[in-house]
Structure 1
Amino acid sequence: MVHLLGVTAGWSGGVWLVLSRSNSLKTSSLVAVAIYAIAMAGMLTASAAYNLSFGRKLKERLRRLDHACIYAAIAGTYTPLLTRLPGETATVALIVVWAIATAGILLKLLWPRRYERLGLALYVGLGWIGLPMIPALSGRLLADTGPWIAAGALTYTLGVGVYLAHRVRYHNVLWHLMVLVAASFHYVAIGNEFP
């Protein structure tokens, strides 16, 4: 149920976010928002496909895709926000974020059961890589955007703890609920920033 909610909300919300801004945003901002929407909906779809699949071989392939798509979703979330940085700074920040995400994607696709700790560190590290950029972004983002970004980042990070708590009953459901809540916070942030 959680996964079906995520897929439905991810795609319908993403399509609405892009279409409702198609006349108000400049092309580069609209493309950045579309990258975010596709990456987020793609992650939620990959997660649903993996968690609802049957058969060992299929499930293993979908696990690779699911875990790889998390990196794309993190980088996709950063993409519109980093376009608020000035010229070359935005370009460098986007290259760094997507380079790390690409490394993570390759790690999960090529060595899916190896380097699990490295993969987890890359998730969290990529998620928080924007921390040093706060001073540069603070004057460029709308005042209401920052708290939503922070709430999403904290919820994702706390969710990692829940994900790792394998002895906690329903930890997997709780983890995926926290992902939906965190993704919703970031959706509000991006919708607010790009009206």
Structure 2
Amino acid sequence: MSAATGPVARDAQGAVAPAGLADPPRPMFRGVLHFITAMLAPFATVALLLLADSPRGYVGASIFGTTLMLLYMSSANYHLAPWPASLRGLWKRVDHAMIFVLIAGTYTPLCLVVLNNAWGIPMLAVVWTLAGAGVALKVVNPNAPRWLSVGLYMGIGWVGVVAATEVVTTLPAAALAMLVAGGALYTIGGVIYARRRPDPSPRWFGFHEVFHAFVIAGSAAHFALISIYVV
């Protein structure tokens, strides 16, 4: 990371630092987990495409896999590369916006394959519209308060409960467990990100790395759900 250049500087989380001071050092593992996942995401996408057995399944698998790759590649790129201040803000916008894109991408195969048209298509339209609004917010105001960002992520992520009856009657118990577990893992990660704790080792593996670990676990649960029971 670069030293501050100007009256103020912002650290990796967007906090303002005093003039003339370098950004605080980041944990050594910042971005590493998402880099590893980014390397695995293309293989996961190919596996989904090979498993898909219907046009809707293929479209859903394509979109979910693509959004997985976009999220983890943009996150690894943002957190690992030594971007100058002029570009770091751009990549922060992309990184945060991709969270909304992955949420909508995860809904897509479920809406196309699991839900009937009466529920699935309207739900798909609502989720992608909300995700688009979230992306616009991050582009315009990447330093929006954490509570607002996390609230939007969770709100869009759990909006699908309105179709709970349809989902429960369609998916087996094991699939429902994976669906809920993935949502719970994302939610716990979001709370950790908002509260900045637990922060086990600020030098090596801080609260942000814990957040990243929960995001990966949530993605893994939903990947298992979609690969086994959906596409």
Same fold (TM over 0.5): yes
**Residue number in structure 2 paired with 1:87:** 117
User: Does the alignment pair 1:28 with 2:56?
Assistant: yes
Q: Which residue of 2 aligns with 1:183?
A: 219
Residue 166 of structure 2 corresponds to: 136
2:69 aligned residue: 41
Q: List 4+ stretches of structure 1 deviating above 6 A.
A: none
Q: Computing the radius of gyration over CA atoms, which structure comes out larger, 1 or 2?
A: 2
Residue type of the partner of 1:12? F
- Given the two structures, how large is their TM-score scaled by the length of structure 1? 0.92
TM-score by length of 2: 0.78
Which runs of 5 or more structure 2 residues have no equivalent in the other structure?
1-31
Aligned-partner SS, 2:57: helix
Contact 1:35 1:79 in 2 (8 A): yes
More helix by share: 1
Q: Count the aligned residue pairs.
A: 192
Instruction: Please point out which of 65, 78, 85 is paired with 1:50.
Output: 78
Per-residue CA deviations over 1:122-141 (Å, capped at 9, x if unaligned) read 10101111112111111122
CA RMSD of aligned residues (A): 1.6
Q: Structure 1: any 5+ residue segments left out of the alignment?
A: none
CA distance in structure 2 between the partners assigned to 1:121 and 1:165 by the alignment: 13
Displacement of 1:116 in angstroms is 4.6
Other-structure match for 2:19 = none
Q: Shift in Å at residue 87 of structure 1? A: 1.5
Residue by residue over 1:129-180, the C-alpha shift from the partner in whole angstroms, topping out at 9 and shown as x without a partner, is 1112111111122432110111111111111122123352411111111111
Q: AA paired with 1:121?
A: G
Share of identical aligned residues, percent?
28
Q: Indicate conservation of the 8 Å contact 1:67/1:108, yes or no.
A: yes
